[in-house]
Amino acid sequence: MTQPRHIRSQQRRLAGVLVLLLMLGSLLVPSLASAACSATVRADSRATALVVDEMRTAGAPGAADVADLYARGRRSCIDVRPVRSIAVATQRLGLPAAGRRATVRGVPLVGTTLGTGTVWRLDLKQVAVRVAKTANRVRVTADVTLLRSAAGGSSALTYSPDPTRTAWDPKVQALVSTILGTSAYPDARALGDTGIRAFAVRGRIAALGALPLLEHLLIANRVAAVGARSGVAAVDATSATIAVRAMVRIRAARARGWSRIDGAWSSGPAHRALVAQATVLLQRHPHAATDRVVDDLRAALRTPAKVDFGTLPVAAFYPWPRDGAFDTQAVTLDVNKPGTVSLLVYGAAATPIRTVSATTDPGVVTLTWDGADASGAIQPAGDYRYNIDVVDPVGNRVRAPGLERFRVARDTTPPTVQTATARVIGTGTGRRIVASWAVTEEFSPKVTTWLLLANGARTERIQLHGSLQRATVRKPITLAAGSWKATLVFGDGSGNRVSRSAGSFEIRAGTS
């Protein structure tokens, strides 16, 4: 139904008034917020503005960061005292090295990495320590104000080194909250309890799974320490939930005879840290299945690796000449720990003539000996015993004697000739000799072939090829008239030779 014209006119006027009120409100709210700030905050804000202007004018390093920090602090009307301290530190001390500490106007600051550079930010750990240990009520009140500023006004006290922007960092949250939660002062413990409960906000406990496992365990233990003495049900429940998430990751870390942390085989120190942190956590939150896993991981610290032999050097090999055929012999093993696996080869003496080592993950590893000693000299034919030595990441060593011996051999058998022929085709400058052959050679497959032509005391020697065992070769040739005998000579890489008559042919006078 169409509304009367006067009603539509009234609606338009009312809408216009509402838009005007909204515009006025958007202008008035910042002013009202500014007016609501305390006199101390307003004084700090004015002093900080002067520092920012001076730094901008001088083009001082860090001016942009301080200006951004100040602008965000004004918008939220937080306690800008830490912002002023950061601005003064940046102006007077310059940009810090990472980890450098300073106290400016009573506010502890620390050099913090931001992007590709460093900036001054609140040293929350130091503030928390002061709150936890200081009996001076005035100082405690001032530092608690700093902590609340660091939390950006969040009722859950989500701590951030940037006092104007609350970014969730579980490591910072756990560190500050547990320092407070283990204090002897009730007010500090209450703040710690509140900080622990911040973990229970939706998604935050699950986010711990994105941290490295050892960092996750450290946070779980810190939170568990607060939960154990808090007496607050919500804090204890949060502590237990974090512990359960950590235990799932502990059980997943066990693999074969070692630990696999965050998808990679752990080093010795990392494995020790995992066992130590897990042991502490289980003392506060017992869990039978996780305890059995930790017992296995603890046993791995004092148990040498287990070695199973796979492929053994049962056949002889021929390291001389280096022609790519039967030059080496290998041993295949299966080890259940990461570490260094070594093959020690012995001659007649008790000391090894060669050690071949590999750093390996658990699983199958192949170690190969090329028949040479440590200086690279190929050893004489004979049998050579060997041992396998395995050292795990914490220094446990196991030495297993070889089940067979390496057998170094020398090839003394010449190639076997199957066919060998030679004939002449053409006349004059177009004369060619055509040589064909087929031989077999198992241990030194690169066979060199020569053609010997003899006419009484006169001989010709022609190299035909340096590697083929079967070929037909055509070569230009100039020979004197007469009867010629052809012989093909075959030599393998070990120096063994064999010859075979390849036929005879006649070169007529006047056609040479």
Query: For residue 152, what pLDDT is reported?
Result: 55
Please write the tens of the pLDDT for every residue from 275-290: 999 999 999 999 999 9
Cα dist from 62 to 59, 75, 237, whole Å: 9, 20, 43
More reliable by pLDDT, 358 or 168: 358
Distance CA 14, CA 1 (A): 21
Residue 144's SS3 state is helix
Best CA proximity match to 163, nearest among 38, 91, 93, 75 = 75
Distance CA 177, CA 173 (A): 6
Query: For residue 48, what pLDDT is reported?
Result: 84
Of the segments 144-153, 406-415, 463-472, which one has the largest average pLDDT value? 406-415
Contact 384, 345 (CB under 8 A): yes
Q: Percent of the chain, pLDDT > 90?
A: 49
Residue 61's SS3 state is coil
Q: What is the total residue count of the chain?
A: 512
Angle 170-181/186-197 helices, nearest 10 degrees?
Answer: 150
For the segment 48-65, the average pLDDT, to the nearest whole number, is 88
Tokens standing for residue 461: 């020697």
Query: For residue 78, what pLDDT is reported?
Result: 62
Q: Which domains does the chain have, with CATH numbers?
A: 23-122 (no CATH), 307-408 (2.60.40.4070), 416-507 (2.60.40.1930)
Sole residue written with tokens 């010449």: 414
Please write the tens of the pLDDT for every residue from 242-264: 999 999 999 999 998 899 999 99
Amino acid at 453: L
Distance CA 157, CA 140 (A): 16
- Exposed/middle/buried for residue 32 (C-beta within 10 Å: 0-12, 13-18, 19+): exposed
Query: For residue 96, what pLDDT is reported?
Result: 93
For the segment 184-188, the average pLDDT, to the nearest whole number, is 82
Distance CA 365, CA 412 (A): 33
DSSP state of 443: S
- Count the helix, strand and coil residues of the chain and give each as a percent rounded to the nearest 5: 40, 30, 30
For the segment 451-460, the average pLDDT, to the nearest whole number, is 92
Chain CA centroid to CA 90, Å: 36
Instruction: Place 203 in a pLDDT band, splitting at 50, 70 and 90.
Output: confident
Cα dist from 429 to 355, 455, 462, 475, 479, whole Å: 60, 20, 18, 12, 11
